[in-house]
Amino acid sequence: MTSTRLGGLDDFRVPAALLVIAIHTGPLLSMSPATNYLLTDILARLAVPFFFAVSGWFLLPRVQQQGMAALLPFLKKILILYSISACLYYPVKIYNHTFSWTSLPRELIFDGPFYHLWYFPALLLGTLLVCLSLRYLGRRGTAVLCAALYLFGLLGDSYYGLAQAIPPLYRLYEALFQCFDYTRNGLFFAPLFLLLGDRAGRNPPRHGPQRCWIGFGLGLAALIAEGLAVKHFNLARFDAFYLALPPCLYALLQGLRTLELPPRPGLRAWSGAVYILHPLCILLVRGFAKGFGQTALLVDQSLVHYAAVVGLSALLALPFALLRRRRPTSARSRAWIELDARALRHNLALLRERLPAGCTLMAVVKANAYGHGAVEIARLCAAEGVDAFAVATVQEGEQLRRAGIRGTILVLGYSGPELVPLLARCRLTQTVVSAEHAQLLDGCGRRLQVHLKLDTGMHRLGIPWNDAASLASIYACRNLKVIGTFTHLARAGQRTLEGEHATEEQLACFRTATERLRCAGFDPGALHVQSSYGLLNYPELTCAYVRLGIALYGSLSAPDDHTRLSLPLRPVLALRARVVQVHTLQPGETAGYDGDFIAVRPCHVAVLAIGYADGWPRCLSHGVGQVLLHSRPVPVAGLICMDQMLVDVTEVPNVRPGDIATLIGRDGDAELTAARVARDAGTIANELLSRLGSRVERILLP
Ligand SMILES: *Cc1c(COP(=O)(O)O)cnc(C)c1O
């Protein structure tokens, strides 16, 4: 899944790689050692933590969501890169007579064999440590642990002067330095930055780009001040750790995110190659300079030396960037869903504007967010400040928690007692649908927060609104804490006199029931009744929540629905499929199963790589449904298959394999709404969308 436009992170790899080379070459050394210190020993210290943070950003959410198994491909990749580097540089060490068997284990685990190659073992050890800690200590415990390890590392590094003043501490560090050369390693240095990346990825900036960059500027100023102070007081044993480094890096990550740039996998590969190859380039440049008697220029002139190393590294890394760029991406090769993040934000803003004061929007993300992708939609909503969600099942709620969604998650459906441990562990709010249900939940002995569901006339789930004895029995349950009460309107979408009358009656029953609860001394908690049509047709109701599903996704259930409140909502989802083949048929030839499509004239049929297994209803076969090609509607030809379907493109010139068909959404001036397609299929948009298949990749457009 390509998430929001995080290309800023890719772009910053270039300056970060240049800074790493600067650390190892000292570009300003021959001109001004003080300025060089500022550059390589203070500013450039951002570079390696940046790479750790980016790893944490992408890896840790996956591990927390999918378990430790998700760590294996990452570890494998880093091990391979580490092995390549070791094979590259151990021969150099042997040649230089700096190789020793006794230091091999500490090198491989902590210090790295050459220059900055400590990065790879630190990444391996750091990710293992953070992942295990997240699993056993939780997020807060891990944050405390990583911060403590960092502080300990700090005292053995830039602030070693302080540790030396305390004899027992000094002895402890000296003992540890028998095991590794620096505290800058996978135990003390990497974990905090990995976790910082995870946090930055999870929490989009609360403020605009300006504030982020001002924060970064302030962070840099603090970093410089700290670096100069450390030097002034001569505290450092080595200078990798600074107190200002983590906050400064965090602001940088947030700033880069606000740039919203497209991703650049080529740069990712390039910077990785520069990282591994530049020590080799340093050796080559020095060797060349020696061989050709150019040492005075190519080595002693530090800036020329730096430029030569950068140029050579960039050149040698170029093939990796090109290789990576050429690699085709799997997305969009067959059928895919595009999610328009802007449309969702627009709908959220529009709907929230219409809510009465004190009323909170509860985003209904059941059934994989109506086929849109529950995690993606919940994350986008959370980034906009939504803190109440509704799902149908406990497992759906668990999925959201694993993805880091906070706030209230209300399970709307029935959950049996066997699910109570999971409900409690994930801090989900359960709907209580009857007195018996309450007893079963209560009997599990775990504290649960619940909402009461009242049946006010729909006769689906709920406690009969006038059943005072049942309601009182639920309040007597020791383990259940009622924090909300709601009902569901059966006919909020019907604007007939009969429908409106029935709705008024349901509302009256709900009001009476909640008033009676209060009179009996029971607190019904937060009240809510409206779903999308409830809000759009009864906007004047004042509740604690509205539970919005279909409207949030920018659709109506049916194309001709007219609601009292008519909002310019925008569809969030588009469904597209690739044309994979085009056939020309002569009159009398047939196409598809059962020869269902018969050419009555010479015609062209295009094969689309999408079928009913992807959620495209089979009842749209033989011309009942249509799709858009080159911004024009074309009819479905013959019977829709499981994985493919045919469309008759005779009227549209030049349809070729690789063209993109739009099945739901806009193509130029033409649009097929979900509600329209659903009507053709004899259903409503809610069903059509929620049945879109898991095989269809979801792509988030920023
Ligand atoms: C699905 C559901 C909703 C959301 O309905 P929309 O019409 O899609 O807004 C609200 N409340 C309950 C109880 C639901 O089951």
How far CA 590 is from CA of 587, 595, 597, 601, 639, in Å, comes to 9, 5, 5, 11, 11
For position 114, what pLDDT does the model report? 80
Cβ contacts of 602 within 8 Å, gap of 6 or more = 584, 585, 586, 587, 650
Rounded CA-CA distance 163/140 in Å is 27
Which residues fall within 8 angstroms of residue 518, CB to CB, at 6 or more apart? Answer: 524
- Tokens for 289? 């300079």
Question: Which of 347, 351, 364 to mutate for ligand 1's pocket (most ligand atoms within 8 Å of CB)?
Answer: 364
3-state DSSP assignment of residue 373: coil
From the CA of 686, give the closest atom in ligand 1: 8
From the CA of 535, give the closest atom in ligand 1: 9
Q: Residues 6 or more apart from 89 whose CB is under 8 A from it?
A: 113, 114, 117, 279, 280
* CA–CA separation, 666 and 530 (whole Å): 30
Angle subtended at Cα 617 by Cα 596 and Cα 659, rounded to the nearest 5 degrees: 80
Residue type, 635: P
Residue whose token pair is 């967010």: 369
Residues with CB under 6 A from ligand 1: 364, 366, 412, 488, 531-533, 547-551, 686
639 and 596 in contact (C-beta within 8 Å)? Answer: yes
Q: How far is the CA of 487 from the centre of ligand 1 (A)?
A: 11
Can you spell out the DSSP letters for 248-311? HHHHHHHHHHHT-PPP-HHHHHHHHHHHHHHHHHHHHHHHHHHHTT-HHHHTTSHHHHHHHHHH
Token representation of residue 56: 């944490």
Burial class (CB in 10 A: 0-12, 13-18, 19+), 473: middle
489 C-alpha to ligand 1 centroid (Å) = 9
Atom from ligand 1 closest to the CA of residue 392: 15
Task: Round the CA-based radius of gyration of the chain to a whole number and report it.
Answer: 31
Å from CA of 650 to ligand 1 middle: 42
Distance CA 71, CA 67 (A): 8
Residue nearest to atom 3 of ligand 1 (CA): 531
CA–CA separation, 297 vs 307, rounded Å?
Answer: 12
Write out the two tokens for 467. Answer: 């059943």
How many angstroms does the Cα of residue 40 sit away from the middle of ligand 1?
58
Output b/e per residue, 179-197; b: 16+ Cβ within 10 A: ebbbbbbbbbbbbbbbbbb
- Ligand 1 centre and the CA of 549: distance in Å? 6
Q: Which residue, judged by its Cα, is nearest atom 8 of ligand 1? A: 549
Active site residues: 366, 593
**Phi and psi for 86 in degrees, rounded to 5?**
-65, -40
Q: What is the signed CA dihedral for 201, 207, 213, 214, rounded to 10 degrees?
A: -140
Q: Which two tokens stand for residue 68?
A: 């430790």
Q: Which residues contact 173 (CB under 8 A, 6 or more apart)?
A: 155, 156, 160, 163, 183
Calculate the CA 141 to chain-centre distance: 22
Residue 61 and residue 400: Cα distance in Å, rounded?
Answer: 12
What gap in Å lies between CA 144 and CA 689, rounded to an integer?
43
Residue 425 Cα to ligand 1 midpoint, Å, equals 25
Pairing of strands 480-486, 448-455: parallel
- The pLDDT, as a whole number, for residue 330 is 56
pTM greater than the 0.75 cutoff: no
Mutational pocket test of ligand 1: of 414, 458, 531, 546, the residue with most ligand atoms within 8 Å of the beta carbon: 531
Which atom from ligand 1 is nearest to the alpha carbon of 551? 9
DSSP type of residue 391? E
Span from the CA of 340 to the centroid of ligand 1 (angstroms)? 22
Q: How many CB atoms lie within 10 A of CB 668?
A: 10
At 576 the three-state DSSP class reads: strand
Q: SS3 letters for 48-104?
A: HHHHHHHHHHHHHHHHHHHCHHHHHHHHHHHHHHHHHHHHHHHHHHHHCCCCCCCCH
Which residues, including other chains, have CB under 8 Å from residue 148's CB and lie 6 or more apart?
A: none
How many CB atoms are closer than 10 A to CB 97? 7
**Which residues make Cβ contacts (< 8 Å) with residue 475, sequence separation at least 6?**
482, 522
Closest by CA to 197, choosing from 256, 239, 133, 113, is 256
Our CA dihedral for 35, 41, 47, 49, rounded to 10 degrees, sits at -150
The residue among 635, 574, 582, 587 whose CA lies nearest residue 608 is 582
Among 126, 284, 114, which Cα is nearest to 197's?
A: 126
Cα–ligand 1 centroid distance for 531 (angstroms): 5
Tokens 């620096």 belong to which residue? 182
Determine which residue's CA is closest to atom 6 belonging to ligand 1: 549
Cα 635 from Cα 31, distance rounded (Å): 73
Q: What is the mean pLDDT of each run of 10 residues along the chain (702 residues)?
A: 68 95 94 95 95 94 80 92 89 83 86 84 96 93 97 96 94 93 93 96 82 95 96 92 96 91 86 92 94 93 96 94 66 89 96 96 98 95 95 96 91 98 96 98 97 97 97 98 98 97 98 98 98 97 97 97 96 97 97 96 97 98 97 97 98 94 95 98 98 92 76
Tell me which residue has its CA closest to atom 4 in ligand 1. Answer: 549
What SS3 state is found at 45? helix
> Alpha carbon of 236 to those of 25, 154, 175: distances in Å?
20, 9, 18
CA distances, 568 to each of 51, 380, 539 (Å): 43, 20, 15
Q: How far is the CA of 262 from the centre of ligand 1 (A)?
A: 35
Q: Which ligand 1 atom lies nearest to the CA of residue 531?
A: 9
> Measured from the CA of 366, which atom of ligand 1 is nearest?
1
Q: Report how far apart, in Å, the C-alpha atoms of 452 and of each of 392, 413, 485 are.
A: 15, 12, 5
Short-list 645, 690, 638, CA closest to 663? 645
Segment holding 222, helix H or strand E? helix 209-232
Report the nearest atom of ligand 1 relative to the CA of 488: 13
Start-to-end C-alpha separation, the chain: 12
Q: Which atom of ligand 1 is nearest to the CA of 413?
A: 15
- The pairing of beta strand 526-528 with beta strand 480-486: parallel
Q: d(Cα 533, Cα 563) in Å, to the nearest integer?
A: 7
Q: Which of 412, 458, 688, 689 to mutate to test the pocket of ligand 1 (most atoms within 8 A of CB)?
A: 412
- Among 533, 540, 541, 530, smallest CA distance to 562 is for 533
Q: What share of the chain is helix, strand, coil (3-state, %, to 5)?
A: 50, 15, 35
Distance separating alpha carbons of residues 631 and 574, to the nearest angstrom? 14
CA 394 to chain centre: 21
Q: Report the separation in Å between the CA atom of 696 and the middle of ligand 1, taken as the mean of its atom positions.
A: 24
Q: How far is the CA of 345 from the centre of ligand 1 (A)?
A: 20
Close Cβ partners of 429 (under 8 Å, ≥ 6 residues apart):
408, 409, 410, 411, 448, 449, 450, 451, 483, 484
